[in-house]
Amino acid sequence: MTKIVSDTSVIINGQLTAQIESGSIRNSDIIIPQAVFDELQSQASKNKEQGFIGLERIQKLKSLSGSHGLNVVVSGSHPSSDDIKLASSGRIDALIVDMAKQNNAILYTSDNVQHLVARAEGVETVFLKSEIKNESLEFLKFFDSETMSIHLKENQCPLAKKGKPGEFVLTKLSDEILSKDYLEMISSQILDVVNVYDSSTLEISKNGASVVQHGDYRIAITYPPFSESFEITIVHPIVKLSLDDYTISEKLMERFSDSAEGIVISGAPGSGKSTLASGLANFYHKKGKIVKTFESPRDLQVDPGVTQYSKLDGSFDNSADILLLVRPDYTIFDEVRRREDFGTFADLRLTGVGMVGVVHANSPLDAIQRFIGKIELGIIPNVLDTVVFVKDGGIQKVYDLELKVKVPTGMTESDLARPVIEIRNFEDNVLEHEIYTFGEENVIVPVGKKADKVGIEKLAEDKIKETFKRYDPRAEVEILSDNRVKVMVDEQYIPSIIGRGGSNINEIEKLLRVHIDVVQKTSDDISLTTNDLPFSFSESKTALLLTVNRDFSSMHADIYANEKFIASVRIGKKGQIKIPKRSDVARTLMDFSRSQSDIKIFLKDF
């Protein structure tokens, strides 16, 4: 009779039983090593499902033995305590191969490593690959085209989230109470397919929890001692979106395409963050970029040309060492959770790799807050340039970060200037928050919109503005405190305001009884919406003619084109300003204006 030695794998997956039932194995001695039996008994004692399944299948083998001319025996010695300690290093597998050698038997296994080792040692072996049809997986019956995830828990009814991100409904799938045996059967099927399908991987395996990625399905299995009862949660993406499917402004699309290399996608769980991250990965890949991903588990729906990396030796830090060797243009980091993940994200970004990180947060500000304390405050704008907040599957808000040295908003003394991170709304460039160090703490301070001034403050501002309009008709005033103001004027007027040795500004300060900071007006300070004179534009053979109301004849005025000062002129008779065409003033005026609406005339005399 033929002698067969079976290892643990062909017993648990049922392939040995299937061979007997199909008639491929008859009239044989089937030897089950004592080490295999003890291993199954140990697993069953620890309430592990594989142990119970294995012992039941040994019992089935014995029941089949009579009708198929088989002799099923358990043989060999019990493994020693040293053998058990070294089981993870292959000691038990070595005992099984030795059993086949001693009995001149054929080794049946579904473990490819065991099969290769046996062949290397000259032992005849048969490799029985597990065969599980995808359609037979029990959990698939709970899914339809609208199901985002299913939630199966011991002694509870099966539940499912149906809909789309932000609009899902938790639905009871049936009134049937799920038993522990039923969930263990589903779990056994899932763990079996890991060794069968190339698209299935065991991403996490801990005492009490396992995470499997099977195709598009992310499966989390928990059981005691980690959870109080057996539970299986399976998530399945129902949509795959490209950037064209989102409502994205032309300005934001330009940022994604050309300059955004430190992107953080934030949002609550189930808001659609990973879907957008997948869309960005595919977008960059189609633009001819080398794109990689960091995932644990690897569940992003990306094009085949995008390589998906997981943790190397349990750490993304190790993965980063390999990543730099393959020289990617962009890396999608899904998800940035642990402190070391933030450090890895920052290190990769500072090496020049374009980074897209996915962060759980209830607001875009919370996403930025999660980086504070984990990396240096001053380098945050170099790591993050675009923060995208996703809600209900769509892009709700985008922030832009920039580092400046300035006096924080609300402070008045110039010696309080410090590095400040400005957080601006990307679409309208409005400053909304500032981050800076105050004392020993890093703080995020909201910057509110300036309210219209009323009462005494408005009167004081008007009085001060009237004083300085004698020098610059477009002077702007900002009240910093009860005894300090900032006056913004065109650069050309500053010398006359200050006076020789500061004599003039001292006189003005004594008159107004406030300290005055005179600063050059920037383009942000210029407002050309008020105080300009209406005029008509015409040309003669030799001059440009700007005609205002006759009442302003013989007065002085300033001409601006597209917010740039051109010249101070005297208004002639009949309200006409003549500018010779061959003059530098005329050439400058024409260079900076395309139409009459670009030209403004301000009266200097009051």
Intrachain domains 2-127 and 243-446 with the same fold? yes
CATH of domain 134-235: 3.30.450.90
Cα 564 from Cα 567, distance rounded (Å): 10
Is residue 547 scored above 80 in pLDDT? yes
CATH code for the domain defined by 2-127: 3.40.50.1010
Neighbours of 53 (CB within 10 A): 20
Q: Would you tell me which CATH number, out of the four given (3.30.750, 2.120.10, 2.60.40, 1.10.357), belongs to the domain 536-603?
A: 2.60.40
pLDDT (tens digit per residue) in 565-591:
888 888 888 889 999 988 888 888 888
Question: What pLDDT shows up at residue 454?
Answer: 54
**Whole-angstrom Cα distance, residue 25 to residue 15?**
11
pLDDT at 425 over 50: yes
Check residue 434 and give its pLDDT: 92
Domain boundaries, the chain: 2-127, 134-235, 243-446, 455-520, 536-603
The pLDDT of residue 179 is 92
What would the mean pLDDT of 335-340 be, rounded to a whole number?
89
Q: What is the pLDDT of residues 268-309, one digit of tens each?
A: 887 888 889 999 999 999 999 999 999 888 888 889 899 999
* Average predicted confidence (pLDDT) for the chain: 85
Tokens, residue 306: 């995008």
According to the 3-state scheme, what is the secondary structure of 244-271? HHCCCCHHHHHHHHHHCCEEEEEECCCC
pLDDT digits (tens, 9 = 90+) for 384-412: 989 999 988 889 999 999 998 888 887 76
Report, as an integer, the average pLDDT of 98-107. 90
Dihedral, CA atoms, 246, 247, 252, 254, nearest 10 degrees?
70
455: confidence class by pLDDT, cuts 50, 70, 90? low
Residue type, 312: L
Percent of the chain with pLDDT over 90: 24
Confidence of residue 83 (pLDDT cuts 50, 70, 90): low
Residue 200 or residue 506, greater confidence: 506
Q: What is the mean pLDDT of residues 103-116?
A: 88
pLDDT above 70: residue 526:
no
What is the DSSP secondary structure assignment for residue 209, as one 8-state letter? E
Per-residue buried b or exposed e for 415-451, using 16+ beta carbons within 10 Å of the residue's own CB: eeeeebbbbbebeeeeebbbbbeeeeeeeeeebeeee
Which residue type occupies 482?
D
What mean pLDDT is predicted for residues 222-231? 90
Homologous superfamily in CATH for domain 455-520: K homology (KH) domain (3.30.300.20)
The whole-number pLDDT of residue 529 equals: 41
Mean pLDDT of 420-438: 90
Q: Is pLDDT at 128 greater than 90 in this prediction?
A: no
Q: Report, as an integer, the average pLDDT of 255-261.
A: 85
Average pLDDT on 149-165 reads 90
pLDDT at 238: 78
pLDDT at position 130 is 66
Residue 52: pLDDT band by 50, 70, 90 thresholds?
confident
Predicted confidence at residue 357, as pLDDT, reads: 93
Q: What is the model's pLDDT at position 527?
A: 45
Percent with pLDDT over 70 in the chain = 91
- pLDDT above 80 (res 605): no
In degrees and rounded to multiples of 5, residue 547 shows phi and psi of -110, 125
User: Does the domain made of 243-446 have the CATH classification 3.40.50.300?
Assistant: yes
Q: Which residue has the higher pLDDT, 84 or 422?
A: 422
Of 492 and 177, the one with more pLDDT: 177
Q: What is the mean pLDDT of residues 532-547?
A: 87
Strand partners, 321: none
Residues 6 or more apart whose CB falls under 8 angstroms from that of 95 comprise 33, 35, 76, 79, 83
**Residue 265 pLDDT greater than 90, yes or no:** yes
Q: Does residue 450 have a pLDDT over 60?
A: no
Write a three-state SS string for 548-606.
CCHHHCCCEEEEEECCEEEEEEECCHHHEEEEECCCHHHHHHHHCCCCHHHEEEEECCC
